[in-house]
Structure 1
Amino acid sequence: MNTDEQDVWGSADVSSGKDAGDENFPVGSLLISRRLRPHVHAYYDFARVIDDIVDTDQLDPPAKIARLDAMEAVVHGTRLAPHRADAQTAVRVGQTLRETGVPTTTATDLIVAFRQDAVKNRYDSWEELEEYCRYSANPVGRFLLELHGEDAGTFGPSDALCTALQVLNHLQDCADDLRNLDRCYLPRPWLAQAGASIDDLRGRHASPGLRRVFNQLLDRVDELNRRASLLPGLIRDRRMRMEAAVIVGLSKRLATRLRGEDPVAGRVKLSRADVLAALAGAVRTLV
């Protein structure tokens, strides 16, 4: 590897060490067939690493974008990757995409979002946030559907579900994102209209104005979840239908929890009872 290549990749392996157990929602769970599970894990590992690249404090924004560009080239097969954990995730996801025929954009669209995260830390409208989710979240659902051979009629409800999940995650992490990354996804005009400010996220509890903004976002999430409820009924693969039904149920339950709990005071999480209830509800999709 020449000096220019070393400069792009740097010396830091930014893998966070997180795995599927750190997520709210099942990733490559037992509901996915054993045959497809390795592909799902390859995709997840790649997504985790590029997320870590943009969130690390070891790289400045230009270095983050250069590293993301290099990862994208590896996925396309136009660049070699060094033999270390973070870079090799791009090799494996590229192999998965070539083996399965799933569109490469399901991986590279994620990089579009993370390049944006490297340079943009405030949002001025719901539409801006939706556009971000189009790249940061929606490709995940499309990857799973394409992997299972589902048709394009599933994409709309899947996009709604993935956008809902992304916004819920932003709400869960709103205080930590500001404190650790100086990043805030809450639309600034909504904050101003509610008599709140981004600095309210630095408090010990949500201010009344901040709570109103949370509820506005949850109103949008509820609408997305209503559209997402159509997804299981459109999926042909029995196991994938069950997986989708579980995730829709968990999304709805997390939205309900965020209505009643304060994400500024502490991270709002799903309970074991939430998971069991979502599983029970999903079983009905198989009848």
Structure 2
Amino acid sequence: MSSIEHYENFPVASWLCPARLRPAIVALYHFARTADDLADEGDAPAHRRLEDLAHYKADLQACLSGAKNASTRWPGVFQALGAAVVQHQLPAQPLFDLLDAFEQDVIYTRVGQRYRDRTELMDYCRRSANPVGRLMLHLYGVQDATSLTQSDAICSALQLINFWQDRQQDVQRGRDYLPEGHTLAEELVFARGLMAQGAPLVKRVPGRAGWELRAVVQGGLRLLDKLDALQRQLGGDGTTWPRPRLHKSDVLLMAWRCCRM
């Protein structure tokens, strides 16, 4: 779906992306990727991660205020982001929402906190995943309420699918996204329903971007197929399952399904 690594389901520099938007998309990717690394990578203790994220948020505020040298620690990230903000008038709130979600990941992991219910988990998705879709729609000039709601559904579904396919690794790292009182089987059904709610968006996004979105949706649905199969074969809560992966045969099936959409 993308020509370089992606931050979760963030399409970056795909050949389907118009050349005029690629610098902004790459800038947003590196902003999110760097913040995610501050929250997750390496051996730094939780308090240091939170300090780094606080400095990162302060640099974001400086960048959005128009400061020429917004960051001494991450100059490449914020120079590119600042240019994208000015050129495309990007909204600020989705950027801050992403940082809030990364901070929450650090805090929840530190204290071993579970999500009490699906409402709490979906609030996390609202800040960790939905901003990506809203920023992408903004770049494509799609800002009506229906499209934003459908984008949120797709992005939340992709975030949940990412949790369930990485469940074994997440739990080992002290991070459990499965809401208390829910089974993984229930959450797989819920994620598929969210994707169905958002899928009509592929016909509202113009040009090649609509085809990229079709690929993203079908990729998520194909992973759900594989997770459903593991649920039937192995049962349990997913903590012992192998991580499902997409192969060439899956890509061919996804391409056929994209055309049918």
Q: TM-score range by the shorter chain?
A: 0.7 to 0.9
Alignment partner, residue 191 of structure 2: 221
Query: Which of 128, 132, 143 is the equivalent residue of 1:151?
Result: 143
Alignment partner, residue 166 of structure 2: 173
Q: Does 1:52 align with 2:52?
A: no
Local SS of the residue matching 1:259: helix
- Distance in 2, matches of 1:164 and 1:269, equals 17
Q: Does 1:138 align with 2:130?
A: yes
1:67-86: per-residue Cα shift (whole Å, max 9, x none)?
A: 11222222232673225xx5
Q: TM-score normalized by structure 2? A: 0.84
Alignment partner, residue 52 of structure 2: 67
Q: Larger C-alpha radius of gyration, 1 or 2? A: 1
Query: Which of 214, 226, 248 is the equivalent residue of 2:217?
Result: 248
- Distance in 2, matches of 1:254 and 1:60, equals 33
Query: Which of 231, 242, 250 is the equivalent residue of 1:266?
Result: 242
Change (3 A) 1:87 1:178: farther
Alignment partner, residue 233 of structure 1: 203
> What are structure 1's unaligned runs of at least 5 residues?
1-18, 191-212
The answer to which of 154-163 and 92-101 deviates more is 92-101
- Distance in 1, matches of 2:44 and 2:75, equals 15
Contact 1:249 1:281 (8 Å CA) reproduced: yes
- Distance in 2, matches of 1:252 and 1:57, equals 32
Alignment partner, residue 42 of structure 1: 27
Change (3 A) 1:125 1:107: same
Alignment partner, residue 280 of structure 1: 256
Query: Which of 90, 98, 103 is the equivalent residue of 2:86?
Result: 98
Q: TM-score normalized by structure 1? A: 0.77
Q: Does 1:81 align with 2:71?
A: yes
Contact 1:222 1:252 (8 Å CA) reproduced: yes
Give the aligned residue type for 1:239.
R
Give the aligned residue type for 1:223.
G
Contact 1:82 1:88 (8 Å CA) reproduced: no
Contact 2:7 2:32 (8 Å CA) reproduced: no
Contact 2:7 2:33 (8 Å CA) reproduced: no
Structure 1 residue 109 displacement after superposition: 1.1
Local SS of the residue matching 2:20: coil
Percent identity (aligned): 32
Give the aligned residue type for 1:146.
H
Structure 1 residue 245 displacement after superposition: 1.3
Change (3 A) 1:241 1:74: same
Q: How well do the aligned residues superpose, as a CA RMSD in angstroms?
A: 2.1
Structure 1 residue 87 displacement after superposition: 5.5
Local SS of the residue matching 2:160: helix
Aligned length: 241
> What are structure 2's unaligned runs of at least 5 residues?
none
1:48-73: per-residue Cα shift (whole Å, max 9, x none)?
A: 11111111343222322221122222
Change (3 A) 1:95 1:108: farther
Give the aligned residue type for 1:266.
P
Change (3 A) 1:22 1:160: closer
1:74-107: per-residue Cα shift (whole Å, max 9, x none)?
A: 2232673225xx5632332232122211212222
Alignment partner, residue 118 of structure 2: 126
- Distance in 2, matches of 1:24 and 1:42, equals 15
- Distance in 1, matches of 2:87 and 2:54, equals 23
- Distance in 2, matches of 1:34 and 1:280, equals 26
- Distance in 1, matches of 2:121 and 2:7, equals 24
Alignment partner, residue 257 of structure 1: 226
Structure 1 residue 28 displacement after superposition: 2.9
Local SS of the residue matching 1:107: helix
Contact 2:195 2:217 (8 Å CA) reproduced: yes
Structure 1 residue 22 displacement after superposition: 8.0
State the 4+ residue runs in structure 1 displaced beyond 6 angstroms.
none
